[in-house]
Amino acid sequence: MRLQAGRRRLRDQVLDEEEVVGCDPRSRVRASSAASWAWVVAFCGALSSCGTREGASAVVVDVEPVRAAPDASSAPNASATVSARVAALSSLPRGSIVWSHDLEQAWADAERGNKPLLVYVRAAWSTAGLEMERETLTSEVAGRASRPYVAVYVDITDDDVLARTEARLGVPIAVVPITFLIDVRSDRRSALEGYKDVDAFAEGLSAFVSGK
């Protein structure tokens, strides 16, 4: 006969039970479950290390459930919030165009290498820019057309970055996306405003290099 009871009844039952050899009544088994409370059943009579006298009955013990430790990944983390500029850099076009992220450094590289400068200006809120990055800037055709240039990718979602970019280029930015083509030595310039498909983008870059 198996007896199943709560703590108070179990205590009385254990005290009244015939002596059990080799079982430490203080021993408790614990099981943890992240989803629900667990019940652990200990059958002392069935274990080789816990023999009972003949005729003694086994006791079904309900053990206090243990809560699983909270998942650290589910805790809110304020540092996980990133600025729109950082998020934009993580989505940098992965085509064959070699991009710089620093306008000043790219300008200096263009002067030192006597190369034209390609400045692609975008913002996180511009759907046309996102489409151009997905369809145009990742193409091999655009990559080949950009090879004569030092290319820099500028995200102006942040107002401070917008102000610094306009100051460096010397012109207001009224359209996004926009691609500036600049000969940094002669200051000859051209601009491809708005979304450009692969052919229009490549043609614009090639025309500027040829001086047309």
Cβ neighbours around 100 below 10 Å, total: 19
- Among left, alpha and beta (phi > 0; psi -120 to 50; other), residue 170 is left
pLDDT band at 12 (very low <50, low <70, confident <90, very high): low
Where helices occur in the chain by DSSP H, the ranges are: 7-16, 84-90, 103-113, 127-135, 140-145, 159-169, 198-209
Which range scores top for mean pLDDT: 9-18, 34-43, 88-97? 88-97
84, amino acid identity: A
- Summarised one tens digit per residue, pLDDT across range 75-126 is 444 444 444 444 444 455 666 799 999 999 999 999 999 999 999 999 999 9
Write down the pLDDT at residue 14.
Answer: 42
Q: Up-side HSE of residue 182: CA atoms within 13 Å toward CB?
A: 24
Inter-axis angle of helices 103-113 and 159-169, to 10 degrees?
20
Q: Which residue has the higher pLDDT, 30 or 119?
A: 119
Domains belonging to the chain, first-starting first, are: 1-72 (no CATH), 84-209 (3.40.30.10)
pLDDT band at 30 (very low <50, low <70, confident <90, very high): very low
What percent of the chain clears pLDDT 70, i.e. is strictly above it? 55
Separation CA 68–CA 209 (nearest Å): 65
- Summarised one tens digit per residue, pLDDT across range 171-206 is 999 999 999 999 999 999 999 999 999 999 999 999
